[in-house]
């Protein structure tokens, strides 16, 4: 697979929710339909399957593999498929990475091991072992407010030496740290926070791995393209226009509200699996207001 090192998975990626049937079973037909919508209507260059937004903590390994295969069959000819494979066990992460490669994924998203809080030497070993396990290019997912551990600048620069570690999903919330890595490496940086897309672009970022982009994808693509062609005024206008949903989608929990929106729009979503709970009436009404404020009707 030929990759542009500046943006190996394009500009716009969505961490796709995993559709379930009314009784909570995996809805593979729905996943294919939703993936097609995200690529053809919301203009995504790539989709992340089995990320946290995809409720990966509550799906089994076989479900994960079947989901990747189904989505790859549906949209793999016109979008890249990244598989979220990160766990707090290196051995299990390696297993998931190999399974994802077999199922047709084009790349891996590997979150920092969570809860067990490995030292930086442990992070280096973990990410390198996963990168060594397949032939797939890999994004490191740095989100310390969830995992409990930040990938330090020196660690990230060392990881950049691995030929298959090509970029970062950056949800650290530290633009200066990201800037230093961008100055010192060729890693492609994708914002892991929808509202930080434009700020990250300004220091050399490649794009976004979004959640609200289930709804804001087309507008976000226009934001990125405006910035790329030097129209900063238009990019800022788009940023401000979409900001109510960039932030509002996380008012309770991103997966919960995205699925509520998909269900309202008649797109595959279905219920969430415990320990998540479906959106309340009040949360749905607030979601509608946030969408209206962003110029999106649901």
Cβ neighbors of 199 (< 8 A, separation 6 or more) are 175, 191
Rounded Cα distance between 107 and 85, Å, is 10
Residue 112 and residue 101 in contact, taking contact as beta carbons nearer than 8 Å = no
Q: How many helices (H) and strands (E) does the chain have?
A: 12, 8
Contact in structure between 186 and 198 (CB atoms under 8 Å): no
The structure tokens listed for 220 are 């976000």
Helices (H), the chain: 28-40, 61-75, 90-103, 120-133, 144-147, 153-159, 175-184, 197-202, 213-228, 232-248, 254-265, 281-293
Known active-site residue 80:
no
Angle at 221 between CA 219 and CA 225, to 5 degrees: 120
Q: Would residue 190 show up in a list of annotated catalytic residues for this protein?
A: no
Catalytic annotation, pick one of 80, 88, 115, 141:
141
Give the active site residue among 64, 169, 221, 259: 169
8 Å CB contact between 99 and 92: no
Residues classed as catalytic: 141, 169
């Amino acid at each position: 697979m030929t990759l542009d090192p500046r943006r190996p998975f394009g500009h716009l990626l969505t961490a796709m929710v995993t559709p379930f049937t009314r009784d909570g079973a995996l809805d593979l037909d729905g996943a294919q339909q939703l993936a097609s919508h995200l690529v053809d209507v919301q203009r995504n260059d790539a989709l992340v399957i089995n990320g946290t937004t995809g409720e990966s903590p509550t799906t089994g390994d076989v479900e994960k593999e079947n989901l990747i295969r189904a989505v790859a069959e549906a949209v793999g000819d016109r979008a890249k498929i990244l598989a979220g494979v990160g766990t707090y066990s290196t051995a299990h992460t390696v297993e998931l990475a190999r399974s994802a490669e077999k199922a047709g994924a084009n790349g891996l998203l590997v979150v920092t091991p969570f809860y067990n809080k490995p030292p930086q030497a442990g992070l280096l070993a973990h990410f390198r072992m996963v990168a060594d396990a397949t032939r797939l290019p890999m994004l490191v997912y740095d989100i310390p407010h969830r995992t409990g551990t930040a990938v330090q600048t020196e660690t990230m620069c060392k990881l950049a030496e691995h030929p298959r570690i090509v970029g970062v999903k950056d949800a650290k919330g530290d633009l200066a740290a990201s800037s230093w890595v961008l100055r010192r490496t060729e890693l492609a940086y994708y914002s892991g926070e929808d509202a930080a897309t434009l700020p990250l672009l300004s220091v050399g970022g490649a794009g976004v791995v979004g959640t609200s982009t289930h709804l804001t994808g087309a507008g976000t693509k226009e934001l990125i393209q405006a910035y790329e062609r030097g129209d900063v005024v238009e990019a800022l206008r788009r940023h401000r226009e979409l900001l109510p949903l960039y932030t509002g989608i996380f008012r309770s929990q991103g997966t919960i509200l995205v699925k509520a929106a998909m269900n309202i729009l008649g797109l595959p979503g279905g219920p969430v699996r415990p320990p998540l709970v479906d959106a309340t009436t009040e949360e749905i009404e607030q979601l509608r207001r946030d969408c209206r404020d962003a110029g999106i009707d649901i």
